[in-house]
Amino acid sequence: MLKYSKYLMLLMFTTLAAFSNAQTSLKENSLNDFLIKDGYVPVKMQKFITGHLYVTGNLNGISGTFLIDTGAGATIIEEKREEKFKMKTEISDQKATGAGSSGLSVGISNNNKFVLDKYTFGSDTLRLMNLDHVNKALKSIGIEEIDGVIGADILTSGKAIIDYTNLVIYLKQ
């Protein structure tokens, strides 16, 4: 009888685990379905070994890598990528501060098209600044340079909802 009880326990555990996974998938799909029905676009994120989240997007039709930064006041494009992304930039009187630096010059670029999967950023004005301090830190641990940082302007206008468990950011068109 003891022999059969081990098998019965194993069967119960396996069934319970499968049921638990099915419930989790149902909940995740329900969230996804609910947000899509409400006009949100799911954008798949990836995670660097540092834990930082990033997405691949298209700026003026050219692919790039953009860090998601919920603390950044605005979306910033690395100023050295101006030609890569075919941007026309005007010098601004604004100065920027951020983690590890302050007083950085900021450029303004208008008439851009920024697309993340099927989400198009509603404003065509973007800021450019030197992101050497960020890219230097990433390179020192073996991570490729980023092209920019997605900040509050896109996250707010897109009414961003971040699903950290499934690495998806939802943006409302």
The per-residue pLDDT for 91 is 73
Rg (CA), the chain: 21
**Domain positions in the chain:** 1-38, 39-172
The per-residue pLDDT for 85 is 97
The per-residue pLDDT for 103 is 54
Secondary structure class of 13 (helix, strand, coil): helix
Which numeric CATH code is attached to 39-172?
2.40.70.10
Q: Please state which of the ranges 89-93, 119-123, 153-157, 165-169 shows the lowest mean pLDDT.
A: 89-93
What is the tens place of the pLDDT at every residue in 107-120?
999 999 999 999 99
**Residue 115: burial class (beta carbons within 10 Å; 0-12, 13-18, 19+):** middle
pLDDT band of residue 150 (cuts 50, 70, 90) is very high
The per-residue pLDDT for 68 is 98
Q: What are phi and psi of 90, to 5 degrees?
A: -110, 140
Q: What is the pTM of this model?
A: 0.77
Higher-scoring residue by pLDDT: 14, 4: 4
Break the chain down into helix, strand, coil percent, rounded to 5: 30, 35, 30
What is the tens place of the pLDDT at every residue in 18-44?
444 444 554 556 889 999 999 999 999
pLDDT band of residue 7 (cuts 50, 70, 90) is very low
Closest CA to 157 of 105, 129, 116: 116
